[in-house]
Structure 1
Amino acid sequence: MRANEILEQIREANLSYLLLAKQMINDDKAEAVIRLGIDEQTAELLSDLTTAQVLKMAASDLPMCSLRFTDPQVWKLASDHGKDRNISGMHAAILMAGRSVNIQA
């Protein structure tokens, strides 16, 4: 993959992420803070962005979001496709919610 294609994909991912984040924050700020792994001040800043600001930020070559799973156990649970998939998914969500609280504290 060429460098220009990678940069364009980063920009597209940035735009998708920012639009999704704004929608989530506007729908339910408390849930968005947890799901996005951001603090309330960041949620307010994202919510207040104009369309022009979103487009300008999305044009950055730096990704606006990052992978939040740093625990191999969470990756294992999230990727488990066995018969107890729902339980694994809930367990992964609980672990991530706990990490989110610890990071923000």
Structure 2
Amino acid sequence: MSQTNFLDEIQEINLAYLLLAQRLLDEDREAAMFRLKIDSDVAELIVSLSARQLTKLARTNQLLCRFSQTSAEHLRLLTANPRDQGLAGLHASLLLACESFEPMPPGEAK
């Protein structure tokens, strides 16, 4: 796959992520901030972006979303959960919720 295709896919993912973030924030801001691991200032900014601004922001060559699970062990627990399938969703939610929110340092969000 060429670099151009990768760039196109990154931009599509970015736009989808931003649109989803706006919808989540419009529906239930507190829950969305928790799920997206963003603070109220970022939430307000995302909600206020116009379609043109969203598109411009999405057209970066870097992914705007990132793994909230930076621990390989947590990823293993999420993917290799031996628990009953009825509780798997709850278990995954608890594991994801216990991760602390660490905003990206200034300069990394470019």
> Normalising TM by the smaller chain, what interval?
0.7 to 0.9
Q: Secondary structure at the match of 1:62?
A: coil
Paired amino acid for 1:19: L
Equivalences, count: 103
Q: Which residue of 2 aligns with 1:48?
A: 48
- Which consecutive residues of structure 2, in runs of 5 or more, have no partner in the other structure? 104-110
TM-score normalized with structure 2 length? 0.82
Contact in 2 for aligned 1:18/1:54 (Cα 8 Å): yes
Contact in 2 for aligned 1:80/1:88 (Cα 8 Å): no
Q: Which residue of 2 aligns with 1:21?
A: 21
Q: Which residue of 2 aligns with 1:71?
A: 71
- Which consecutive residues of structure 1, in runs of 5 or more, have no partner in the other structure? none
Per-residue deviation, 1:92: 2.9
Q: Which residue of 1 aligns with 2:10?
A: 10
After superposition, give the CA deviation of every residue in 1:6-64 in whole Å (9 maximum; x if it has no partner).
Answer: 00000000000000000000000000011111111111110010111001111111111
TM-score normalized with structure 1 length? 0.85
Structure-to-structure mapping, 1:81-100, within 5 angstroms: 82=82, 84-100=84-100
Of 14-23 and 63-72, more deviation after overlay is shown by 63-72
Identity of aligned residues (%): 33
Per-residue deviation, 1:86: 3.9
Report the Cα distance in structure 1 between the residues aligned to 2:54 and 2:99, rounded to whole angstroms. Answer: 28
- Report which of the two has the higher share of helix: 1
